[in-house]
Every structure is written in C-alpha cells, then in structure tokens.
Amino acid sequence: MTQQFLTAIYLTTLAGLATTIGSIIALFYKEPTPRYMAFTMGFSAGVMILVSFVELLQQGIKSIGFTYGHIAFFSGMGIMYAIDVLFPHDYIMEKHNLHRHDDAVKDRLKKASVFVAAGIAIHNFPEGMATFAGTMKSTDTGIAIAAAIAIHNIPEGIAVSVPVYASTGNARKAFLWSTLSGISEPIGALIAGFILLPFLNDTVTGFLLAAVGGLMVFIAFDELLPISHSYGKEHLSIIGVITGMMVMALSLAMIY
C-alpha cells in the first residue's frame, strides 16, 4: 500500500468518526436549542456548498472539461437523490418531544433511531468513497473534502445519539450507535481502494470529484438547509451558511 492510499483511509476514518463528536455533544447537551441547530445546520450547508463549487466541480472541469464536468456534477446529485428515495432518514429530534416518558413514544423512538442510524450509514458510504478519490488526486483536495464531511457528520452524530439516549437512557449505547453510523465511511473508502484504485486516472478521478460535488450540494440543499430553516430562528440559518463558507474559504486559502 502506498503512503497516499494510507492517507486516504486515515482522512476518511477521521471524517466518518466525526459522528462521535456529535454524540458527545448530544450526551452533554441532550436537547440542542433551536438557535443552536439552525446555526449548526446552516454552517454545515455553507461548508459543503463552497467546497463543492470552488474545489470539487472546478477540479472535475479541469480534468475532464466543462461539459463532462457538469454531467458528472448532476449525476452525483441524481445518485444522492436515488439513495435518499430508497433509504430515507429523518432527523427525528425535530419531530418528537424527547422528554416524554410514555412507553409508546420510547418504542417509536427506539425503532426510528435504528432507521436513522442505518439511513445515515448508507448516506455516509459514498462520502467515504468521495474522500478516498479526492485524496488519491491530491492530499489537499482530500483534506478539504474530509473537513467538509466531518463538519456535516457532527449534526448527524447528534441525530443518531439523541433519540437512542432518549429511548434507552443508555449513554454507551447512544455513543456506539453514533460511532457505527460513521464507520461506513472508511468501509466505503476501503471498497473504493481495492476495487476502483486500478482504474483511477485523471479522467476517472475528475469525474468522481465533480460527482461528489453534486452529491454534497444535494445534501446541503435537500437536508441541511430545510432542517435549519425548520427551526425558524430569524436569520440564523443564512448567518450559519455565510460563516461556514467563510471558514471553508479560509481553510482552502491556507492550503493554497
């Protein structure tokens, strides 16, 4: 295995296990306030939107041209749409009062939390492949993708951990489920490494990066921004988006 291969697996693992950060936040901050969630979801969306348009799509266009770069970009959006339809997941902490203790609510939460964890794990799988492909192109690109995905995974960790803890009262179980939902990312990277690695050239990598850009934009617009707006806290959503974009722009500026 080359050093670049190991770096790709390492970055993907870090990005995936960012769900554990969300889990820790959830255990210490069991009911995130609407203001916190509105800003955080907006921040995550801003990070993903900027890195997709500024870094990933541009890398794809540079490698395979304007037309094919955009075909790949919209293909990524289509793939994510198909995954979303086939394996839907909800941030169910929006939909339930987690402090109600009747058994019916706990049973619903317990079942729903399994589906949320499974859905997020499936959504994380192509993200792992994306980080791997980006890192094989260049370490700087891999770091940018991993950072964006890691930030996105923090609220996902909260989304898994809160309902599990609310339904079971078991902090270890909540942490475990959150961690497992993120492990699918390095698994996706390993599969990409052992199956796609022989075929990775500038053309294939360019197509993958542009497609990943589309995938991440879809997540930002279809999941993160609607969830952020659902908390209805004035302009915190757009403030989060702008802040996320600024942070990502500064991080890219340091790389370049």
Q: Is the pLDDT of residue 30 over 50?
A: yes
| Residues written for the chain | 256
Task: Specify the pTM.
Answer: 0.67
What's residue 94's pLDDT? 46
- Average pLDDT (165-175) is 79
Q: Which two tokens stand for residue 165?
A: 């803890």
What's residue 247's pLDDT? 80
Residue 106: pLDDT band (50, 70, 90) is low
pLDDT tens-digit readout, 34-81: 787 788 778 878 877 888 899 889 989 998 999 999 999 999 999 888
Full 3-state SS string of the chain: CCHHHHHHHHHHHHHHCCHHHHHHHHHHCCCCCHHHHHHHHHHHHHHHHHHHHHHHHHHHHHHHCHHHHHHHHHHHHHHHHHHHHHCCCCCHHHCCCCCCCCHHHHHHHHHHHHHHHHHHHHHHHHHHHHHHHHHHHCHHHHHHHHHHHHHHHHHHHHHHHHHHHHHHCCHHHHHHHHHHHHHHHHHHHHHHHHHHHHHCCHHHHHHHHHHHHHHHHHHHHHHHHHHHHHCCCCCHHHHHHHHHHHHHHHHHHHHC
What's residue 73's pLDDT? 97
Residue 205: pLDDT band (50, 70, 90) is confident
Residue 26 backbone phi and psi in degrees, to 5 = -65, -40
The domains of the chain are located at: 3-27+41-255
Q: Is the pLDDT of residue 210 over 60?
A: yes
Residue 87 backbone phi and psi in degrees, to 5 = -130, 70
